[in-house]
Amino acid sequence: MSRVGLCGSDLAMVYRGMLGDLVIQTPMGIGHEASGVVAKCGSAVTHLKPGDRVTIEPGNCCGNCDFCKAGHYNNCVKDNFYTMSMPYPRCIAHYFKHRGDLCHKLPETVSQEEGALMEPFSVAIHACRRSKVTAGTTVLVCGAGPIGLLCLLAARAMGAKSILVTDVRPERLETASKMGADFTMLVGGADPQKEAKGSRR
């Protein structure tokens, strides 16, 4: 593996030993936002070869449940992203064995670091699609953490005209500005209504 991001879920497992209802029972690794270089391929893999740089989709869908059949394999009822978090080794490792169809070759122009961001970036793209962001849209992003910042980039790439990012921490808003937010707003103060009126955009 080349680069692996640390998700909030990883930190919860490290520091609290649990993630939502999921309590860690056995030793496990962390990391699911990852890029790597192919070391070896199974005989049925035709789209990749050793040496290819790849990003991975974390998961191990069954291919047969209603969700998988409908193409929503990220929601697979049998073996989805979250159940993966318990019994499987994770990506912070020298080697990670993964299904070929969930490994995607990175273009020349995409670095290993960027490759590791593909999973969280897909969250941002999904959010923008659900919000129907298109050319000229005005967008509000609540929270300038990694996912919020990626939503900012995705919304911009989809043509959003005006993007406002809010957060409770000023240093995060600085990053949002550097990354192209048109407006930022520090929230969490005593008078949210007043804050909201101050930015009708």
Name the residues that contact Zn ion, by CB under 5 A. Answer: 7, 9, 61-62, 65, 68, 76, 78
Q: Nearer Cβ to Zn ion, position 61 or 150?
A: 61
Q: Nearer Cβ to Zn ion, position 117 or 185?
A: 117
Q: Nearer Cβ to Zn ion, position 124 or 160?
A: 124
Q: Nearer Cβ to Zn ion, position 68 or 165?
A: 68
Q: Nearer Cβ to Zn ion, position 66 or 198?
A: 66
CB of 67 to Zn ion, least distance (A): 6
* Residue 160 backbone class (left: φ over 0; alpha: ψ -120 to 50; beta: rest): beta
The Cα–Cα gap between 176 and 128 comes to 17
Asked whether 84 and 31 are in contact (CB, 8 A), the reply is no
CB of 60 to Zn ion, least distance (A): 9
Q: Nearer Cβ to Zn ion, position 16 or 201?
A: 16
CB of 196 to Zn ion, least distance (A): 30
The Cα–Cα gap between 124 and 18 comes to 25
The Cα–Cα gap between 189 and 196 comes to 11
CB of 149 to Zn ion, least distance (A): 14
CB of 86 to Zn ion, least distance (A): 15
CB of 125 to Zn ion, least distance (A): 15
